[in-house]
Amino acid sequence: MEGKGLRSLAALFASAAGVALYIGVFNLHMPWLIIPLAAVAVVGVLLLVVGHLLMGRYPVLAVWLINALPLASFVVAIFVTFGAARAGVVVRQHLDHLPKAENDTLTEIIASVIAGAVGFLTLNGLADGASWVWPRRHVQAAFERCFTRRWAAGSAAAQAIWENYVSGAKPPIQDWGLKARSRRASVISAARTDGTPPFKPVTGSMTQQAANSDATTSQTSPPGARRSRSLRRISRPWQRGTRGRACPGRSSRPRRCR
């Protein structure tokens, strides 16, 4: 249901289902129709949330859970169309006291605004496969968020996360369709469990790195700054003295440092 033609058909069917839901609720007096649709939307959102939470440990299962999102997206589109139809009827009822010409003009304008809002909120999203109402965007975001330990560039796991074409898989994976997302998750899961380190080894020990850092700092410090610090330490020896050492002052009588 993620091809371009099927996405357009889903948007059209959601609009028709929204109008049918309005007729069933307000004309046929069947308000219970809202309950199963709302339950489907809630289940779809819960599966999406659980999929995001499980992505770090079980990527294959998480992708399958996120793939249930179109159910919730489709029901939300139906509810938006249902609300737009109800809003149009209510507005028309409140404009009945106006003259016919003015009533017709205002009704057409308001209907155009409502139709544009519905198209912007839901129908365009259903027609766009890269929008947040489809699983592809969520799977990509979950991959990038959970697998921050990037594998070496060019590896199959790195391509499965970032690239549109995964040449390291056998057979290669193209795009982000339903089957492609599941195969990408399998590649990432295999890379996590086969013992291949995700990071490249860092050369040198921490001690050597610290020594290199100190050497760099000493090389970059100007000679005048180093001499001034040495002169301050020599000219004020009482700052390093004990309590019984005499402190300098105008009087010749020795005083105790406090």
**Quick one: CA torsion of 162, 164, 169, 173, rounded to 10 degrees?**
140
Q: Which residue has the higher pLDDT, 119 or 14?
A: 14
Q: Which residue has the higher pLDDT, 72 or 129?
A: 72
Using only C-alpha atoms, the chain has a radius of gyration, in whole angstroms, of 34
Q: What is the DSSP letter of 26?
A: I
Using pLDDT thresholds of 50, 70 and 90, give the confidence band for residue 117. Answer: confident
**Closest to 160 measured CA to CA, from 201, 193, 197, 190:** 190
Using pLDDT thresholds of 50, 70 and 90, give the confidence band for residue 150. Answer: low
- Residue 165 bridge partners (DSSP): 174
Please check the confidence at residue 227 and state whether its pLDDT lies above 70. Answer: no
Q: Angle 185-189-195 (CA atoms, 0-180°, nearest 5)?
A: 155
Please check the confidence at residue 251 and state whether its pLDDT lies above 90. Answer: no
Please check the confidence at residue 77 and state whether its pLDDT lies above 70. Answer: yes
Indicate the pTM of the whole model.
Answer: 0.66
Q: Are the beta carbons of 29 and 149 closer than 8 angstroms?
A: no
Using pLDDT thresholds of 50, 70 and 90, give the confidence band for residue 181. Answer: very high
Q: What does the pLDDT read at residue 216?
A: 46
Give the residue-averaged pLDDT of 166-193.
89
CA–CA gap between residue 20 and residue 33 (Å, rounded): 10
Give the residue-averaged pLDDT of 222-250.
49
Please check the confidence at residue 61 and state whether its pLDDT lies above 90. Answer: yes
Q: Are the beta carbons of 106 and 98 closer than 8 angstroms?
A: yes
| Average model confidence (pLDDT) across the chain | 76
Q: Are the beta carbons of 160 and 169 closer than 8 angstroms?
A: yes
What would the DSSP string read from start to end of 82-138?
A: HHHHHHHHHHHHHTTTS-HHHHHHHHHHHHHHHHHHHIIIIIHHHH-TTSTTSHHHH
State both tokens at 135. 């699983």
CA–CA gap between residue 187 and residue 90 (Å, rounded): 53
